[in-house]
With several copies, the nearest count.
Chain A
Amino acid sequence: MTDGVASARSALAREHACVLLHEMRRIRRFEEKCAELYSAGKIRGFLHLYIGEEAVAVGAMQGLSHEDAIVSTYREHGHALARGIGASALMAEMFGKREGCSHGRGGSMHVFDAATRFFGGNAIVGGGLPLAVGLALADRITGRPRMTACFFGDGAVAEGEFHESLNLAALWKLPVLFLCENNLYAMGTRIDRAQSQTDLRVKAQSYLVPAETVDGMDVIAVEEATRRIADGVRRGDGPAFIEFRTYRFRAHSMFDPELYRDKEEVERWKGRDPIATLEKRLKEEGLVTDQLIEALDVSVADEMDEAVQFAENGTWEPVEDLLRDVYTRRS
Chain B
Amino acid sequence: MITTYREAVRTALREALRRDPRVFLMGEDVGRYGGSYGVSKGLLDEFGPERIRDTPLSESTFVGAGIGAALGGLRPIVEVMTVNFSLLALDQIVNNAATIRHMSGGQFSIPLGIRMATGAGRQLAAQHAHSLEGWYAHIPGIRIVTPATLEDARGMLWTALEDPDPVLIFEHQTLYNMEGPLADTAGAVDIDHAAVRRSGSDVSLITYGGTLGRTLQAADELARDGVDAEVIDLRTLRPLDMATIEASVKKTHRVVIVDEGWRSGSLSAEISARLAESLFYDLDAPIARVCTAEVPIPYPKHLEDAALPQTPAIVNAARSMVGARV
- Chain A residues in contact with chain B, CB under 8 A? 44-46, 69, 71, 96-98, 100-107, 109-110, 112-114, 119-127, 129-139, 141-142, 148, 155-156, 158-161, 164-165, 167-168, 171-172, 186-189, 193-195, 256-257, 259-260, 316-317, 319, 322-329, 331
Q: How many residues of chain B get a CB closer than 8 Å to chain A's CBs?
A: 79
Which chain A residue shows the least CB distance to B97? A131
Q: Please, how many angstroms separate the alpha-carbon atoms of A141 and B164 in the complex?
A: 20
Return 16 A-B CB contacts under 8 Å, by A number: A69-B72, A105-B300, A106-B126, A109-B125, A112-B103, A123-B125, A130-B62, A134-B65, A137-B68, A138-B69, A138-B72, A141-B50, A160-B58, A164-B61, A189-B54, A325-B104
Q: Which residues of chain B have C-beta atoms less than 8 A from A161's C-beta?
A: 60-61, 64
Give every chain B residue within 8 A of A171 (Cβ-Cβ): 56
Residues of B within 8 A of A (CB): 24, 28-29, 31-34, 36, 38, 41, 50-51, 53-74, 76, 84-85, 88, 91-92, 95-96, 100-109, 122-128, 140-141, 143, 163-165, 192, 239, 293-296, 298-303, 306-307
Task: Check if A322 sits within 8 Å of B301, measured CB to CB.
Answer: no
Whether A127 contacts B91 by the Cβ 8 Å rule is: yes
A96 touches B61 (CB 8 A): no
Q: Given the complex, which residues of A lie within 8 Å of B302, measured CB to CB?
A: 316, 319
In whole angstroms, what is the CA distance A323 to B68 when docked? 24
Q: How many angstroms from the CA of A45 to the CA of B129 in the assembled complex?
A: 11
Q: Beyond A120-B103, A124-B95, A134-B68, list 11 extra A-B contacts (CB 8 Å).
A: A45-B124, A104-B105, A106-B299, A119-B108, A133-B65, A164-B60, A188-B29, A193-B32, A259-B34, A328-B101, A329-B164
A-B pairs with lowest CB-CB distance, top 10: A134-B68, A130-B64, A103-B105, A138-B72, A188-B33, A96-B300, A107-B299, A112-B104, A164-B61, A158-B56
Give the residue of A46, A189, A326 whose beta carbon is less than 8 angstroms from that of B140: A326
The residue on A at minimum CB distance from B55 is A168
Does the CB pair A322–B69 fall under 8 Å?
no
State whether A195 touches B100 (Cβ < 8 A).
no
Find A156's partner among B57, B92, B239 (CB 8 Å cutoff).
B57
- Pick from B163, B293, B299: contact of A45, CB under 8 Å: B299
A132 contacts across to B, CB distance below 8 A? 68
Looking at the complex, which one of B24, B67, B128, B294 makes contact with A141 (CB distance below 8 Å)?
B24
A189-B72 CB under 8 A given contacts A122-B127, A141-B50, A325-B102: no
Contact indicator B57/A159 (Cβ below 8 Å): yes
B95 contacts A127, CB within 8 Å? Answer: yes
- How far is B125's CA from A8's CA once the two chains are assembled, in angstroms? 49
A277 to chain B, nearest CB (A): 29
Contact B96 A127 (CB under 8 A): yes
The reply to whether B72 and A45 contact each other, CB–CB distance below 8 Å, is: no
Q: Roughly how many angstroms separate A45 CA and B62 CA in the complex, as a whole number?
A: 27
Contact partner of A189 (CB less than 8 A), chosen from B32, B73, B101, is: B32
A189 touches B192 (CB 8 A): no
Residues of chain B within 8 A of A102, CB atoms compared: 103-105, 107
Residues of B within 8 A of A126 (CB): 57
- A48 to B59: give the CA distance in the assembly, Å: 21
> Is B108 within 8 A of A194, CB to CB?
no
Bound: A186/B271 CA distance, A: 41
User: Within 8 Å CB of B55, what residues of A?
Assistant: 168, 194
Q: Contacts of B300 on A, CB cut-off 8 Å?
A: 96-97, 104-105, 107, 316-317
